Protein backbone atom coordinates (compact mmCIF):
# COMPACT_ATOMS: atom_id res chain seq x y z
CA UNK A 1 0.00 0.00 0.00
CA UNK A 2 1.27 3.47 -0.91
CA UNK A 3 1.80 5.75 2.04
CA UNK A 4 0.49 9.28 1.57
CA UNK A 5 1.72 12.17 3.71
CA UNK A 6 -0.07 15.48 4.25
CA UNK A 7 1.71 18.60 3.11
CA UNK A 8 0.77 22.16 2.22
CA UNK A 9 0.77 23.54 -1.33
CA UNK A 10 1.49 27.27 -1.70
CA UNK A 11 1.15 29.11 -5.00
CA UNK A 12 2.00 32.76 -5.59
CA UNK A 13 1.39 34.65 -8.82
CA UNK A 14 4.01 37.40 -8.93
CA UNK A 15 5.52 39.90 -11.33
CA UNK A 16 8.77 38.39 -12.57
CA UNK A 17 11.02 41.27 -11.39
CA UNK A 18 9.90 40.59 -7.79
CA UNK A 19 10.85 36.91 -7.93
CA UNK A 20 14.26 37.18 -6.19
CA UNK A 21 12.64 38.87 -3.18
CA UNK A 22 9.93 36.19 -3.05
CA UNK A 23 12.53 33.42 -3.14
CA UNK A 24 14.37 35.08 -0.24
CA UNK A 25 11.15 35.19 1.80
CA UNK A 26 10.45 31.54 0.99
CA UNK A 27 13.91 30.43 2.05
CA UNK A 28 13.71 32.47 5.27
CA UNK A 29 10.46 30.62 6.05
CA UNK A 30 12.03 27.21 5.42
CA UNK A 31 10.67 26.70 1.90
CA UNK A 32 13.73 25.64 -0.10
CA UNK A 33 12.20 23.62 -2.94
CA UNK A 34 9.89 25.17 -5.50
CA UNK A 35 8.89 25.24 -9.15
CA UNK A 36 8.44 28.30 -11.34
CA UNK A 37 5.80 28.29 -14.06
CA UNK A 38 5.45 31.00 -16.71
CA UNK A 39 2.08 32.75 -16.82
CA UNK A 40 0.97 33.90 -20.27
CA UNK A 41 -1.95 36.07 -19.30
CA UNK A 42 -5.20 36.29 -17.44
CA UNK A 43 -7.86 38.54 -15.98
CA UNK A 44 -8.18 39.72 -12.42
CA UNK A 45 -9.33 42.53 -10.19
CA UNK A 46 -7.43 45.05 -12.30
CA UNK A 47 -8.59 43.71 -15.66
CA UNK A 48 -6.88 41.64 -18.30
CA UNK A 49 -3.12 41.27 -18.47
CA UNK A 50 -0.76 39.57 -20.84
CA UNK A 51 2.95 38.87 -20.92
CA UNK A 52 4.27 41.10 -23.68
CA UNK A 53 7.36 38.88 -24.34
CA UNK A 54 9.24 41.97 -25.50
CA UNK A 55 10.38 43.69 -22.34
CA UNK A 56 9.23 41.15 -19.75
CA UNK A 57 8.19 44.07 -17.57
CA UNK A 58 4.66 42.74 -17.21
CA UNK A 59 5.69 39.08 -17.18
CA UNK A 60 4.25 37.03 -14.35
CA UNK A 61 5.44 33.79 -12.81
CA UNK A 62 3.63 31.21 -10.70
CA UNK A 63 5.77 30.14 -7.75
CA UNK A 64 4.68 26.67 -6.57
CA UNK A 65 5.94 24.95 -3.44
CA UNK A 66 4.85 21.89 -1.51
CA UNK A 67 6.14 21.92 2.03
CA UNK A 68 5.26 21.31 5.65
CA UNK A 69 2.40 23.19 7.26
CA UNK A 70 4.81 25.05 9.55
CA UNK A 71 6.98 26.28 6.66
CA UNK A 72 3.90 27.18 4.59
CA UNK A 73 2.39 29.14 7.49
CA UNK A 74 5.66 31.02 8.05
CA UNK A 75 5.89 31.83 4.33
CA UNK A 76 2.30 33.07 4.14
CA UNK A 77 2.87 35.23 7.23
CA UNK A 78 5.89 36.86 5.56
CA UNK A 79 3.91 37.44 2.34
CA UNK A 80 0.78 38.90 3.91
CA UNK A 81 2.08 42.50 4.15
CA UNK A 82 2.96 42.41 0.42
CA UNK A 83 -0.31 41.04 -0.94
CA UNK A 84 -1.99 44.38 -1.63
CA UNK A 85 1.06 46.54 -2.30
CA UNK A 86 2.45 44.09 -4.87
CA UNK A 87 -0.85 42.72 -6.23
CA UNK A 88 0.06 39.13 -5.37
CA UNK A 89 -2.33 36.25 -5.74
CA UNK A 90 -1.72 33.69 -2.98
CA UNK A 91 -3.25 30.22 -2.84
CA UNK A 92 -2.69 27.66 -0.12
CA UNK A 93 -4.22 24.21 0.19
CA UNK A 94 -3.75 20.81 1.80
CA UNK A 95 -2.34 18.07 -0.42
CA UNK A 96 -1.25 14.47 -0.01
CA UNK A 97 2.06 13.37 -1.46
CA UNK A 98 4.02 10.17 -1.92
CA UNK A 99 7.61 10.34 -0.60
CA UNK A 100 6.75 12.91 2.06
CA UNK A 101 10.35 13.55 3.18
CA UNK A 102 11.10 15.10 -0.22
CA UNK A 103 8.60 17.86 0.60
CA UNK A 104 10.05 19.42 3.72
pLDDT single digits (tens) 17-26: 999 999 999 9
pLDDT > 70: percent of the chain = 90
Query: Mean pLDDT for the chain?
Result: 88
- Report DSSP state, residue 91: E
Q: Would you state the pLDDT for residue 71? A: 97
Would the pLDDT of 51 be above 80? Answer: no
Within the chain, where are the H helices? 19-28, 69-79
CA–CA gap between residue 14 and residue 52 (Å, rounded): 15
CA–CA gap between residue 38 and residue 90 (Å, rounded): 16
* pLDDT tens track for 88-100: 999 999 999 998 7
Amino acid sequence: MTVMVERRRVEVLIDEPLLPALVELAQAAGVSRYTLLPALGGAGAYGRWRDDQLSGATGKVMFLAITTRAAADAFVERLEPLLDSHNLMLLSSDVEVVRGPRFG
